[in-house]
């Protein structure tokens, strides 16, 4: 089920919420958790019920491994259990996500003709697999334990985070379900939850889905792109993925807040980042945390020789890249970010200060350009956008530089008002066809760079009627724009 669907907003969420608190009110707290697990599994199955056995097997197996690790004292046996659990999750992920990619490459490299398995990617598998990997690691390190199956099921399947995160630690969420005051319906939590839900929905439906049309056209439909079109395409995607994914996260956090559960934040104005390290501290923060805690640090982190530390960074980013999907584009994207991180470390060691504006400009442009590899379906599509970004397929109107030049010159001369107007009109005609897109992109850029993000807005939230009217109207507008039969999927459902 999608957060931006009518069935979620008007049926699933209200019913789940009301029954949960009704059961708590009747002091059936165990039953209320069972209800949340069942509701979450229903939420998961709505998309494709054939995936239900897979998540159930995954939950049962990981619960069993976690349980055994909690009881066993022999270090060797615990290690064996941990490795088997780890392998189970990695192999499951690899089987569904990477098998066809590997077959395709083997066929291409060795001229073989192995047929593809054409397995559909089960929804949320990347997220529930790494959530459970983190859990097993925490149990192994004795920083988590869960003996109750329903609690464990709830930890993995709680619907706000199930499909696309945030990626959770057991200790972040489950103690909240135990707290007595969290079992009581809390108007503040409800108001704040609704506020976040509305921000997320507006981001997704009004902004991201709008930008998607331009990005999709540029990446998937156009045969070549002019300079202006290529920048519109790449910037549209950069803002689309931000508003889409952060919109999803806002809705996830908002939905959880209705149940008095605070999930970790996942975005903190990433396009305000002043370097690539800063970007990863602001973008998909829970994935960055996972990669740092469970890959980078176990590899040795930065407590090794500089070259080894750099390699650790690169490996971590490459794993982060291919975690998103099986494709060379993800590998290149991850590698580029890894390399940029290494360059940043080098720059840091030189101890040279860079003006904040330049730093943001460079970081944003790097991120924007590398999204091309992340988004393009084929290498040819990526190259097409790149050619366009550097104007290799024309500027769109070849006379543009002349027009700009003559406009500037003319402006300094003593022209008649009418002539000035004509010169301006001439220049504007170049941009005319793309004015709406440029305006929206400029607005997105302004919002990302200067406006408060949703977490900051939530911190400042007060129950004022003006805010209710403003966000109520925004939500109504967003809800009306949802396509009844086929709401647009969130981008991160593909990963």
Partner 1 sequence: MSARKAYKKWAALYSGLIALPFLFNLLVDPYGYFQVLSIPHVNREKSEVLSEYATKYYYVNRAKPDVIMLGTSRMLTHDPEDVAKYTGGKAYNLALSGSNMYEQYEYLKYMTENYPVRYVVMGLDFFSFNPENKNKTGFEEDRFKGFYYRDYVHGLIGIETLKASLLTVKNNAQNACFSIDYDEGYSTWCSRGKAFREAGETVLLREMKSSLKTFSTDKAAYNSEKFKEPGSISGNLSYFKKIVELCRSRGITLKVFISPVYEAQFDLIYAMGLGETYEHWKSEVAKLISFYDFTGRNSITTDKELWWDTSHLKKEGGRLIFALLFDDKKTDVPGDFGVYVSSENAQEHINFLHKQIEQKDLAEILELDGY
Q: Which residues, 159 to 198, sit near partner 1 by CB under 8 A?
A: 187-188, 190-191, 194-195, 198
C-beta of 444: minimal distance to partner 1 in Å? 22
Among the residue ranges 117-125, 377-385, 452-460, 475-483, the one whose residues contact partner 1 (CB under 8 A) = 475-483
Looking at 286, 475, 490, 495, which residue binds partner 1 (CB under 8 A)?
475
- The number of beta carbons lying within 10 Å of the beta carbon of residue 42 is 15
Output 298 or 463, the one with its CB closest to partner 1: 463
Window 73 to 132, contacts with partner 1 (CB under 8 A): none
Catalytic residue among 169, 170, 284, 324: 324
- How far is it, in rounded angstroms, from Cα 158 to Cα 156? 6
Q: Which residue, among 127, 160, 180, has the nearest Cα to 40 in the 3D structure?
A: 160
User: Least distance to partner 1 from the beta carbon of 198, Å?
Assistant: 7
CA distance 55 to 61: 10
For partner 1, which residue of 116, 354, 415, 469 counts as binding (CB under 8 A)?
A: 469
Closest by alpha carbon to 91, among 114, 61, 111? Answer: 61
Q: Per-residue b/e over 352-379, b at no fewer than 16 CB within 10 Å?
A: eeeeeeebbeebbebbbebbbbbbbeee
- Residue given tokens 């966000």 in the structure block: 471
Give yes or no for residue 312 binding partner 1 (CB under 8 A): no
Nearer Cβ to partner 1, position 207 or 342? 207
Choice from 94, 397, 481, 488 touching partner 1 (CB under 8 A): 481
Which tokens sit at 349? 């060691």
Helix spans in 72-186 (H)? 75-110, 125-140, 149-157, 159-162, 170-178
Chain-centre distance of CA 336, in angstroms?
Answer: 18
Q: Pick the closer one to partner 1 by CB: 275 or 475.
A: 475
Cβ atoms 282, 272 nearer than 8 A: yes
Least distance (Å) from partner 1 to the CB of residue 188? 5
In the complex with partner 1, which residue's Cβ is closer, 189 or 338?
Answer: 189
Residue among 80 and 190 whose Cβ is closer to partner 1: 190
Cβ burial 395-425 (10 Å sphere, 16+ → b, else e):
ebbeebeebeeebeebeeeeeeeeeeeebee
Torsion of CA 335, 338, 343, 344, to 10 degrees: 150
Are 69 and 61 a contacting pair, CB within 8 Å?
no
Does the annotation mark 337 as catalytic?
Answer: no
Yes or no: say if 262 and 455 are a contact pair by the CB < 8 Å rule. Answer: no
Are 489 and 2 contacting, i.e. CB atoms less than 8 angstroms apart?
A: yes
Site for partner 1 in 437-466 (CB under 8 A): 463-465
Per-residue contact flags (x/-) with partner 1 for residues 215 to 254, judged by CB under 8 A: ----------------------------------------
Residue 201 or residue 385: which is nearer to partner 1 going by CB? Answer: 201
Per-position x/- string for 2-41, each x denoting binding to partner 1 as judged by CB under 8 A, each - no binding: ----x---x-------------------------------
Q: Measured from the CB of residue 238, what is the shortest distance to partner 1 in angstroms? A: 27
Contact assessment for residue 287 and residue 167, using Cβ atoms and an 8 Å cutoff: yes
Query: Binding residue for partner 1 (CB under 8 A) from 482, 491, 492, 495?
Result: 482
- Distance between CA atoms of residues 93 and 416, nearest Å: 69
216, 467, 488, 493: which one contacts partner 1 (CB under 8 A)? 467
Catalytic residues: 324
Which residues of the chain form contacts with partner 1 (CB under 8 A)? 6, 10, 187-188, 190-191, 194-195, 198, 463-465, 467-469, 471-473, 475-476, 479-484
């Amino acid at each position: 089920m999608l957060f931006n669907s009518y069935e979620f907003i008007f049926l699933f969420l209200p019913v789940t919420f009301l029954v949960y608190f009704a059961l708590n009110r009747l002091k059936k707290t165990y039953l209320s958790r069972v209800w949340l697990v069942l509701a979450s599994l229903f939420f998961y199955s709505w998309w494709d019920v054939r995936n239900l056995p897979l998540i159930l097997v995954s939950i049962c197996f990981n619960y069993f491994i976690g349980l055994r690790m909690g009881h066993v004292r022999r270090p060797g046996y615990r290690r064996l259990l941990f490795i088997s659990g780890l392998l189970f999750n990695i192999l499951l992920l690899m089987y569904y996500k990477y098998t066809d990619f590997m077959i395709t490459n083997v066929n291409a490299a060795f001229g073989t003709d192995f047929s593809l398995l054409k397995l559909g990617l089960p929804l949320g598998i990347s997220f529930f697999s790494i959530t459970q990997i983190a859990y097993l690691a925490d149990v192994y390190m004795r920083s988590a334990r869960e003996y109750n199956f329903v609690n464990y099921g709830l930890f993995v399947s709680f619907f706000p985070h199930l499909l696309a995160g945030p990626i959770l630690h057991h200790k972040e969420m489950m103690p909240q379900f135990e707290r007595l005051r969290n079992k009581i319906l809390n108007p503040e939590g409800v108001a704040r939850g609704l506020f976040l839900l509305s921000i997320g929905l507006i981001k997704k439906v009004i902004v991201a889905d709008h930008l998607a049309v331009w990005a999709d056209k540029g990446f998937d439909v156009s045969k070549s792109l002019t300079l202006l079109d290529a920048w519109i395409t790449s910037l549209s995607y950069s803002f689309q993925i931000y508003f889409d994914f952060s919109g999803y996260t806002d809705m996830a956090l908002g939905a959880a807040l209705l149940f008095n559960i605070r999930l970790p934040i996942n975005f903190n104005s990433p396009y305000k980042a002043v370097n690539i390290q800063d970007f990863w501290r602001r973008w998909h923060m829970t994935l960055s945390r996972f990669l740092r805690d469970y890959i980078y640090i176990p590899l040795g982190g930065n407590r090794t020789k500089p070259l080894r530390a750099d390699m650790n960074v690169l490996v971590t980013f490459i794993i982060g890249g291919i975690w998103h999907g099986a494709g060379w584009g993800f590998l290149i994207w991850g590698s580029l970010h890894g390399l940029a991180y290494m360059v940043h470390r080098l720059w840091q060691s030189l101890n040279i200060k860079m003006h904040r504006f330049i730093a943001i400009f460079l970081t944003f442009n790097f991120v924007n350009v590398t999204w091309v590899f992340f988004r393009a379906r084929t290498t040819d599509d990526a190259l097409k956008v790149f050619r366009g970004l550097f104007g290799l397929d024309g500027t769109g109107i070849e006379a543009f530089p002349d027009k700009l030049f003559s406009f500037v010159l003319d402006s300094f001369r003593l022209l008649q008002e009418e002539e000035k107007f004509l010169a301006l009109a001439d220049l504007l005609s170049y941009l005319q066809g793309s004015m709406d897109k440029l305006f929206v992109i400029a607005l997105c850029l302004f919002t990302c760079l200067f406006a408060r993000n949703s977490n900051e807005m939530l911190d400042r939230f007060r129950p004022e009627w003006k805010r209710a009217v403003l966000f109520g109207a925004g939500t109504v507008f967003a809800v009306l724009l949802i396509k009844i039969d086929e709401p647009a999927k969130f981008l991160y459902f593909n990963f």
